[in-house]
Amino acid sequence: MAQLETEINLLNDDILELMYLVKTQLEKCRKAFMNFDEELALEITINEKRVDALELKIDRDCENILALFNPVAVDLRFVIASFKINSDLERLGDHADSIAKYIMDFGEPIDEETIKKMRIDEMFDTAIEMMSNIFSAFIAEDTDLARKVFAKDKILNEINRNISKITAKLIKSNGKDIQQYLYLFSIIRKLERVGDLTKNAAEELIFYIEAKVLKHQKDKSKKRKESDDS
Amino acid sequence: METEQQNPKATSEKTQPKLNPDNKDFKLQAKNVDVFYGDFQAIEDISLDIVDNSVTAFIGPSGCGKSTFLRLFNRMNDYIDTFHMNGEILLNKKSLYDESVKVEELRKTVGMVFQAPNPFPKTVYENVAYGLRIQGIKDENLIEEQVIKSLKQATLFDEVDSLDKQALALSGGQQQRLCIARALAVKPSVILMDEPTASLDPISTAKIEELIRELKEKYTIVVVTHNMQQAGRISDNTAFLYMGRLIEYGDTKKIFTNPEKDRTQNYITGRFG
């Protein structure tokens, strides 16, 4: 096997490790939030250091591969995509860390009815599904699966769009829980960003596999075949 | 002939030669060319159009036929006893292998630079003047003017303190630029280069590459290179040859970022060859 191929495989393993770590961080966020588990939230903030360390390692590996092996074509696209996905994953890790800190700040469990009204459980589920999709898509190099995150991101955007009104209504009806509503409002904003970053990672994965740039395009869900025939 | 497999990790966009917006003519054309050395077929049915005022790179593993193909354009293969060919090679739409074509005249139009610098053991001046003298030019003022012009074009003039300096006393990179100046002196329109920087250090290589980019304003340049990064840096179009066949030809940027054929991708990414 050529040395470049070995380096690319190692980079691939590191990206997968980081992706898995970030996915687990988000899953733990959901669990810590729903069960008001402050210990688990603390664990998330501690694990954030692992995310940062892995991000730095991947950055350095990408730089080394570019400098030493001059990759072209599919290899170059893989390194570029990995470099960008790495940055997306690190920011996803930051959001998980921020959510964990909000949970620790709550001081008491969140009322289940409020969670339902603000649709936070749905947001968590959707964001985690998106992460799972991108994780599996990366392993299988499956761009159809990667494309599924685009539709799911729309669900997160829709919830986020309506949240100001819902929060205002909740505050009006129950003034004593304002701080809690504001925490929840912030968590929703974070989860919306989680969706955007996962979508970015999907775009990069498609760029690597299909050599196609989907950034800033409206209809990203277009199938490979359809867009090639057009 | 077996069909080439498409690259699975690419768009379905076809690889096409990049045309020169200011000059859409094809300077050199190969039409269904086969080349044989005795029974061995070195080139198999290659058709390709080379854009005027551009740099075209031929890449491919050793023995793929790229140097043989390059040498067709100034009939250098004619010296090989067992050489014979089918098909046509055109320069400015006229056949190069037509009986009426005088090879000496052709080589004035199509100059060549080789892998190792090969200056004559003479002065810098005499090296560049050589081609003009064998053309029968006697006017020394005209020769001097052309020598200086060629040395300047080859970015060597400012580096030599005297034109009477022995060519073999120059550095390898300077010798190669002297060979380019020698080729330019007879006013060709095409320059063929067979691995022109293979024996040079990175600084001399960078100078030759810069020179190639400058020269394409006036000349059509075809370069055989084993250095993939070099093909990427200097050429407008790239042809990938494999076992005597043309696998893919077109815009260098496309070839190095999103090649159409699987074999091209495997070669440029170092997976075979």
Residue-level pLDDT at A229:
41
Measured between beta carbons, the chain A residues lying within 8 angstroms of B7 are: 74
Please give the C-alpha separations between residue B78 and each of A112, A198, B72, B81, in angstroms, as whole numbers.
88, 62, 8, 7
Place of tokens 């080729």: B183
Which of A71, A75, A211 has the CB atom closest to B10's CB atom?
A: A211
- For residue range B150-209, list pLDDT tens digits in order: 999 999 999 999 999 999 999 999 999 999 999 999 999 999 999 999 988 899 899 899
Q: How many helices (H) and strands (E) does chain B have?
A: 9, 10
Residue-level pLDDT at A221:
58
- Residue A224: pLDDT band (50, 70, 90) is low
**CB pair distance less than 8 Å for A77 and B232:** no
Q: Can you say how many angstroms the Cα of residue B252 is from the centroid of all Cα atoms in its chain?
A: 15
Dist CA B127 CA B113 (whole Å)? 14
Measured between beta carbons, the chain B residues lying within 8 angstroms of A212 are: 11
- By the 10 Å C-beta count (0-12 exposed, 13-18 middle, 19+ buried), B159 is classed as middle
- For residue range A74-86, list pLDDT tens digits in order: 999 999 999 999 9
ipTM entry = 0.79
Low-confidence ranges of chain B (pLDDT < 50): none
**CB pair distance less than 8 Å for A228 and B11:** yes
Neighbours of B242 (CB within 10 A): 23
Q: How many A/B residue pairs have CB atoms within 8 Å?
A: 45
Measured between beta carbons, the chain A residues lying within 8 angstroms of B12 are: 228
DSSP character at residue B20: B
The residue that leads in pLDDT, B25 or A220, is B25
- In this structure, are strands B94-95 and B83-91 parallel, antiparallel, or unpaired? antiparallel
Q: How far is B36 from chain A (nearest CA, A)?
A: 33
Q: What is the DSSP string of B219-268?
A: SEEEEE-S-HHHHHHH-SEEEEEETTEEEEEEEHHHHHHS-SBHHHHHHH
DSSP character at residue B3: P
Q: Can you say how many angstroms the Cα of residue A50 is from the centroid of all Cα atoms in its chain?
A: 16
Residue-level pLDDT at B272:
77
**CB pair distance less than 8 Å for A228 and B10:** no
- What value does the mean pLDDT of chain A take? 92
Whether A209 and A143 have beta carbons less than 8 Å apart is answered as yes
Mean pLDDT, residues A125-148: 97
Q: How many helices (H) and strands (E) does chain A have?
A: 8, 0
Enumerate residues 6+ apart whose C-beta is below 8 A from A225. none
DSSP character at residue B142: H
Residue-level pLDDT at B4:
87
Residue-level pLDDT at A207:
95
H or E element in which residue A224 lies: helix A224-229
Residue of A nearest to B254 (CA): A73
Whether B31 and B91 have beta carbons less than 8 Å apart is answered as no
Which of A72, A210, A212 has the CB atom closest to B269's CB atom?
A: A72
Place of tokens 């769009």: A161
Q: How far is B27 from chain A (nearest CA, A)?
A: 29
Interface residues of chain A, partner chain B, Cβ below 8 Å: 2, 4-5, 70-77, 208-212, 228
What letter represents residue A54's amino acid? Answer: L
Which of A2, A76, A210 has the CB atom closest to B11's CB atom?
A: A210
Percent of chain A with pLDDT strictly greater than 90: 83
Q: How far is A215 from chain B (nearest CA, A)?
A: 16
